[in-house]
Amino acid sequence: MSDCLFCRIRDGQVPATMVHQDEHCIAFRDIHPQAPTHILVVPRKHIATLNDATEEDALLLGHVLLTAKKIARDEGHGDPGWRAIANVNRDAGQTVFHLHVHVLGGRRLGPLG
């Protein structure tokens, strides 16, 4: 997906402040953070939205969420609390169409809605 920003970050074509890389996913700091900690966890496999995930992606999706948990803990937010968000499509606020999970923490986060 040569026009996908996150694929280009994954492939090293666009710089990002990486905090995690493994064979299944990458994680980097958001360039427009909405909280003191705002990290995006992105599967290496291009999946446009959560709506496009299949049963075959179940282990990958689990790995992405467990990676989000590890990153939140490593950033010091495990016990105080943190938020994981996956926006699906434009009406939900998705702007990059490569599945990703936002890890937010570092301050008290109010209710959504």
Domain boundaries of the chain, sorted by first residue: 5-81
Residue 95 has pLDDT above 70, yes or no: yes
**Terminal-residue alpha carbon distance, the chain:** 33
1 has a pLDDT exceeding 80: no
**If you ran DSSP here, which 8-state letter would residue 58 be given?**
H
Computed over every residue of the chain, the mean pLDDT equals: 96
Residue 38 has pLDDT above 90, yes or no: yes
Question: What's the rounded Cα separation, in Å, for the pair 13 and 2?
Answer: 10
Give 44's DSSP letter.
Answer: S
**At 20, which amino acid appears?**
H
Domain with residues 5-81, CATH architecture: 2-Layer Sandwich (3.30)
Would you name the residues annotated as active-site residues? 100
pLDDT band at 113 (very low <50, low <70, confident <90, very high): low
Q: Measured at the alpha carbon of residue 107, what is the angle toward residues 32 and 91, in degrees to the nearest 5?
A: 50
Region 49-55: mean pLDDT is 98
